[in-house]
Structure 1
Amino acid sequence: MWKLKIAEGQGPYLFSTNNYVGRQIWEFDQDAMTPKERAAVEEALEEYKKTIKKDRSWALPCADLLMRMQFKRENNNINLSIPPVRRGKKEEVTYEVATTALRKAVRLNRAIQARDGHWVAENAGPMFFTPAQIIVLHISGAINTILTREHKKELVRYIYLHQNDDGGWGFYIEGHSTMIGSALSYIALRLLGEGPDDREDGAMTKAQEWILDNGGATGIPSWGKTCLSVLGVYEWAGCNLPPLEFWLFPSFLPYHPDD
């Protein structure tokens, strides 16, 4: 199963000037859990899928289920059995109730703390980071070197989980469907091996229909046009490049290309 490694892994493609402090990377290890723990992980993933399909407000960044499950196992000396406190709008909040709630919150935060002292957080809001990375790996010929079968499986799962009911994807995971989110997510799925009609639930067909019904991929913003051009499916002449003179402006200006 998946295991989050903290400040570890002297990989051939990674370099560090601070001994990898703060680095977080997911590694697949088939023997990382017992059969019971693996079953609990699969159950949690399926439950999460059902939950966000019913209520998109649960699709929030920094709520990584696998990370929390892993750290709770590693920090199993912390007692998390304190029952939750529930109070109605007109019920009095006593000193004892407030103390119990605070104690439970502090223990939970301690339980999900990494062993080197910091708290882990994911960067999973925008829906254009992952497709761009997949495109770069594809054009460099490294997609099958860097991404294992298990990596691809989870990337596909992640993208599908955040598909909206209308078939498109948002600019970020909670957003309404946009062309940049939809076109790039669809392209990423195809590069990861998904066919145009592979899904029994019609997810890929719905994605195609949303893109075509909303003007096609040519309606994508400039970042998306650059990605399409890199792939060779859009003419570079159609990209709106900033004037070269912008590089002469002071770097503190908000429209400098470095910003």
Structure 2
Amino acid sequence: MRNRLALETAPANLPQPVTPSGKDRLDAAIERAVSYLKSVQHQDGYWLGELEADTTLESDYIFYLHVLGRFDRKRVSKLAEYIRRRQLEDGGWNIYFGGPSEVNATLKAYLALKLAGDSPESQHMVRARRCIRQLGGLERTNSFTRFYLALAGLIGWQMVPAIPPELMFLPRLVPINIYEMSSWTRA
């Protein structure tokens, strides 16, 4: 009743619908997007775009090379230099440009640099350890980081959260089902 009354008493000078119509605006936006993509497409038909994020990919790569026994000193040296350059003032590493230090990214960067041969007593490593502690340490890490550390033998498997297998049988309509979890947690 209240909504009907509000509509009946609304001012008569409401703004008119904007032209062009929504479909026309969508079509124009699609045309602009296609035009842009064509303008940046390489003559061989592909697009070149860098994947820039945090340093966890580089940290993970150093770790995986170590685990697989394919540690290439020259490649790892370049990766480690990139990780060092991205260290923040407080000693940590962030998960997005301009963001604050994050415990998982910081712990992974620390481990990667240690595997790369950086001395735990060097200034940047001391600052990283201090930052990890300030961010809550191992207790504040996510399941993926714990899995990573257990795989390296640095923590026991009992510290890695396990998903009960019974969750696999719950339907999607149940609030707690595997599809409400991140893909890396399900894996």
- Quickly name the TM-score band, shorter chain normalised: 0.5 to 0.7
Larger Rg: 2
Note closer, same or farther for the CA distance 1:240–1:258 as it changes in structure 2 (3 Å cut).
closer
Task: Report the Cα offset of residue 172 of structure 1.
Answer: 3.0
Q: Which has the higher helix share?
A: 2
TM-score where L is the length of structure 1? 0.48
Identity of aligned residues (%): 27
Distance 1:158 1:173 in 2: 14
Which residue of the other structure, out of 161, 167, 170, is the alignment partner of 1:246? Answer: 167
1:159 counterpart = 2:80: no
Give the residue type in structure 2 aligned to 1:171. I
Q: What residue is the counterpart of 1:124 in the other structure?
A: 52
Contact kept, 8 Å, 2:93 with 2:109, in 1: the verdict is yes
Q: What residue is the counterpart of 2:101 in the other structure?
A: 177
Task: Report the Cα offset of residue 142 of structure 1.
Answer: 1.4
1:22-171 correspondence to structure 2 within 5 Å: 110=40, 113-144=41-72, 148-149=73-74, 151-171=75-95
What runs of 5+ residues in structure 2 fail to find an aligned partner? Answer: 1-35, 173-177
Task: Report the Cα offset of residue 164 of structure 1.
Answer: 1.1
Task: Report the Cα offset of residue 247 of structure 1.
Answer: 2.6
Contact kept, 8 Å, 1:162 with 1:173, in 2: the verdict is no
Q: What residue is the counterpart of 1:208 in the other structure?
A: 129
Tell me which stretches of 4 or more aligned residues in structure 1 moved more than 4 Å.
249-252, 256-259
Distance 1:253 1:220 in 2: 22
Distance 1:212 1:116 in 2: 50
Task: Report the Cα offset of residue 139 of structure 1.
Answer: 1.6
Contact kept, 8 Å, 1:127 with 1:173, in 2: the verdict is no
Distance 1:245 1:190 in 2: 39
Task: Report the Cα offset of residue 249 of structure 1.
Answer: 4.4
Corresponding residue SS for 1:121: coil
Contact kept, 8 Å, 1:127 with 1:172, in 2: the verdict is no
Give the residue type in structure 2 aligned to 1:220. T
What runs of 5+ residues in structure 1 fail to find an aligned partner? Answer: 1-105
Distance 1:175 1:216 in 2: 19
Distance 2:160 2:59 in 1: 19
Cα RMSD after superposing both structures: 2.6
Distance 1:130 1:165 in 2: 20
Give the residue type in structure 1 aligned to 2:86. H
